[in-house]
Structure 1
Amino acid sequence: MSLFNVFGRWYRRKFSDPDAAMLLILILLTAAVLVFWGGLIMPVMVAAVIAYLLDWPVNRLVNIGVGRTFACSIVMLVFTAITILLLVGLLPTVSRQSVNLIQETPLIWQNAQDWILRLPDKYPDYVQVYQIQQMMEGLNDHLVEIGQHLISASFSSIGNVAAILVYMILVPLMVFFMLKDKHFFLDNISFLLPQERRLITQVGHEMNTQIANYIRGKVIEIIIVGAVSCITFVLMDLRYAILLGVLVGLSVLIPYIGAAVVTIPVAVVALFQWGVSPEFWYLMVAYGIIQALDGNLLVPLLFSEAVSLHPLYIIIAVLFFGGLWGFWGVFFAIPLATLVKAVITAWSGSPGDIYTDEMNTK
């Protein structure tokens, strides 16, 4: 019975304040909408992400006297032109290198098998032939399963062509209207919120700044890391340099985990091309320098205003939200973790604590 009393006192202390109760209800309703209808509203979420990214240049143009509608039109035209140039410049090269790498994967795997099978001869005291055979059989079975999944995924993705067309038409329109009529939509959202919204407003203002800074910083980080990696790999004459550079750039979306995962294809391709040679180690040193500069220089500069989170909390957030919402869960893992921290902070400082203490004193 004492456990229920403890829980009851905690509940009254934290939710005796109507503002705290309204914040909890809003979070539960938002989570339910994302869980059950997240796929349907995904174009709206994508448009909101791009609108967050483009809101900064629009505001800069408005501050120097340009009309908001004209500023939105200029920013949208520049953004569309840059996107098309990147797609035209990168997509054919990345596609071609991806096909070549897939075609050479069996040869790479065969060379890896030959090297593994020579291990018992080199280290007879540590590696036995039957161990190698068992390991190779297990790996081959897993590779067959992965190949089947990739083939089925490629066929299922054909049906997504219509969805891509929808994104190409509807998302830019939604982005334009979100930028142009930003204050109109904010007023409508404010009108729908309950009057007991002190904590909702507090958390909302904090998260609005956090998300805007995070999206802008993450896009800049992807571009810088990807461009530097592509240039480095090309100068060192690494095969599939553009493809691997793009992968390194995209890997920053997943903190810690992404850098560890993308190291595997970079190392495998370099090892297949040069073997264990000075060129291989030069490349790995250069790649390590890129990762070190990203983690110790670029990230602190871009995300200096972000709420500091322990690396363990970030990894847990990536795994949890990525499991719930896939790519976008991974992309927003840090802002969502920051949201959880902001909500906990808001509840911890809830006036309900003061109210409860006063009632206990009386």
Structure 2
Amino acid sequence: MQVKIKNQPFYLQSTVVLFGLILLVYVLSQLADILVPLAFAAFLSILLNPLCNRLERLKISKIFSIIIAMVIAITVVAVVFYFLSTQIVQFGDSLPMLKKKFGEITINLKDWIHGTFGIAIAKQDQMVKEALNNSQSMVGKTLGGLLGTLSIVFLLPVYIFLMLLYKTLILNFLYEVFSEENSKKVSDVLSETKSAIQSYIVGLLIEMLIVAAMNSAALVLLGVKYGILIGCIGAILNLIPYLGGIIAIALPVLMATVTKDGYSTQLGVIIAYIVIQFIDNNILVPRIVSSKVQINALMSIIVVLLGNQLWGVSGMFLSIPFVAVLKIIFDRIDDLKPWGKLLGDNIPTHHKGEMWRSRSRRKAVLSDHDQEKIKD
């Protein structure tokens, strides 16, 4: 006996949906160590797929095409990490000096707080200690997320190779698991998903390179120590929508505070980063990050925070492309189209309530007019 949920009362529908979401979140949370590497591998496999196809058209066997594509990708990543590691080594050499300077600034800050607000230095130390104790669990979770992200690196090559190798098998399964009359919708969803993920990831990489160059140039011109390293880190953090940009500004401001006297450099950093963010948000993102699926700002912030709560740092990076795929699916299913509209960035000029009230008023005016005609 089948029970149609749509015919049930609203409270029953909402209860079923709520329990379904709770079960889904629980499964995603418990299987994070398995699902996170698989999710990254799926997105990167889609990104490398065109290169594999091009190599296969050159009469190279499928296995060797996959290996060559992966070697090229790993080489690019290794070059980037080598560049960053050389900068980090230089940063480590100056760490004792930076620690001493930071200690002096901390003492001056405590004296200023004591003189301005009357809070004793011992009381300030106690407040800082309590704050650190309260944040231990959050720091532990963040470190756990970072370690989980590092562990992904060892699983990714295996998953990517196997996904590209069994690509045809996976696609046939997706077609066969749905009825034949839905083959057109399945084909549209797969095609748009592939295009959306490819354009999104490639666009993000190009945007990251341009932002890294602008950040580094601005910090070097302003004389901020380790400007290239901090500029590149800021560009990587910028991949986290909205929240990463705030952290990216804080890093060079903190470095300028520790290494320079006065506040002119910090002000210059803030102005430079505001200009760079304006260029990024209004020129680079609309023109370069040319994903076919646009998620509005409110939903972007919410899903990034939810992704962080669910899967940590990895969840923040995966949240936007994952929701983009969901929107493609929602737009293809009649019952889920309202959810697709909620995720999108197309803002309607009028809401349904205004349209309904406008129709009601017109009907009322017409009704009064008809009654006047009858009286005449």
When normalised by structure 2's length, the TM-score is 0.69
Q: Is the 8 A contact 2:303 2:320 kept in 1?
A: yes
CA distance in 2, matches of 1:322, 1:267: 25
The SS at the match of 1:253 is coil
Residue aligning to 2:363 = none
Partner of 1:77: 71
Superposition deviation, residue 109 in structure 1:
4.9
* Pairing 1:41-52 to 2, within 5 Å after superposition: 41-52=35-46
> Per the alignment, in what secondary structure is the counterpart of residue 40 of structure 1?
helix
Kindly tell me: are residues 327 and 235 of structure 1, through their superposed partners in 2, closer, same or farther at Cα, counting changes over 3 Å? same
C-alpha distance in structure 1 between counterparts of 2:148 and 2:114, whole Å: 48
2:176 maps to 1:191: yes
Q: CA deviation at 1:117?
A: 2.7
Contact 1:98–1:243 (8 Å) recurs in 2:
no
| Residue 90 in structure 1 maps to residue 84 in structure 2 | yes
Question: What is the Cα deviation at residue 189 of structure 1?
Answer: 3.7
Change in 2 beyond 3 A, CA 1:92/1:133: same
Structure 1 residue 174 corresponds to structure 2 residue 174: no
Give the aligned residue type for 1:325: W
Runs of 5+ consecutive residues of structure 1 not aligned to the other structure? 14-25, 122-126, 352-362
Cα distance change, pair 132–339 in 1 and its aligned pair in 2 (3 A) = farther
Partner Cα distance (1:66, 1:110) in 2: 65
Q: How many Å apart are 1:157 and its aligned residue?
A: 9.8
Per-residue CA distance 1:165-212 (angstroms, 9 max, x = gap): x843x5324323433443333223433445575655554443333222
RMSD: 4.5
How many residue pairs were aligned? Answer: 329
The residue aligned with 2:253 is 267
1:97-135 per-position Cα deviation (integer Å, ceiling 9, x unaligned): 2685587346425414413533675xxxxx431388755
Quickly say closer, same or farther: Cα 1:72–1:231, change in 2 above 3 A. Answer: farther
Whole-Å Cα distance in 2 between the matches of residues 314 and 256 of structure 1? 8
8 Å Cα contact 1:322-1:330 kept in structure 2: yes
Higher alpha-carbon Rg: 2
Q: Which moved more, 1:223-232 or 1:340-349?
A: 340-349
The match for 2:350 is none
* Higher mean C-alpha deviation, range 225-234 or range 128-137: 128-137
C-alpha deviation, 1:263, in angstroms? 1.5
The reply to whether residue 291 of structure 1 matches residue 277 of structure 2 is yes
Separation in 1, partners of 2:33, 2:228 = 32
**Match among 234, 240, 243 for residue 229 of structure 2:** 243
Alignment partner, residue 289 of structure 2:
303
Instruction: Mark the runs of 5 or more structure 2 residues left unpaired by the alignment.
Output: 14-19, 338-376
**Does 1:138 find its partner at 2:123?**
no
Stretch deviating more after TM superposition (273-282 or 29-38): 29-38
Q: Distance in 1 between matches of 2:335 and 2:136?
A: 53
**How far, CA to CA, are the matches of 2:178 and 2:276 in structure 1?**
46
Q: Note if 1:216 corresponds to 2:202.
A: yes
Contact 1:214/1:335 (CA < 8 Å) preserved in 2? yes
Residue 21 (structure 1) aligns with? none
- 2:119 & 2:59 partners in 1: Cα distance? 74
Query: Residue type matched to 1:313 in 2?
Result: M
State the percentage of identical aligned residues.
23
The TM-score normalised by the length of structure 1 is 0.71
- Give the Cα–Cα distance (whole angstroms) in 1 for the partners of residues 219 and 24 of structure 2: 44
Counterpart for residue 364 of structure 2: none
- CA distance in structure 2 between the aligned counterparts of 1:48 and 1:193, rounded to whole angstroms: 21
On the 8 A contact 2:202/2:289 being kept in 1, the answer is no
Distance in 1 between residues matched to 2:26 and 2:230, nearest whole Å: 38
Instruction: From the superposition, tell whether residues 337 and 152 of structure 1 become closer, same or farther in structure 2 (CA, over 3 Å).
Output: closer
- Summarize the Cα distance change of 1:159–1:12 in structure 2 as closer, same or farther, 3 Å threshold: closer
Question: Partner letter of residue 37 of structure 2?
Answer: P
Q: Work out whether residues 51 and 179 of structure 1, in 8 Å CA contact, stay in contact via their aligned partners in 2.
A: yes
Please point out which of 117, 122, 126 is paired with 1:128: 117
User: Which deviates more, 31-40 or 82-91?
Assistant: 31-40
Quick one: structure 1 residues 338 and 153, their matched pair in 2 at CA, closer, same or farther if it must change by over 3 Å? closer
| 1:58 maps to 2:52 | yes
Question: What pairs up with 1:30-49 in 2 under 5 angstroms?
Answer: 34-49=28-43
Q: Distance in 2 between matches of 1:338 and 1:148?
A: 31
Secondary structure at 1:39 match in 2 = helix
Q: Which deviates more, 128-137 or 329-338?
A: 128-137
How far did 1:229 drift? Answer: 2.2
Match of 1:253 in 2: 239
State the distance in 1 between where 2:42 and 2:258 align: 43
Partners of 1:12 and 1:61 in 2: how far apart?
Answer: 54
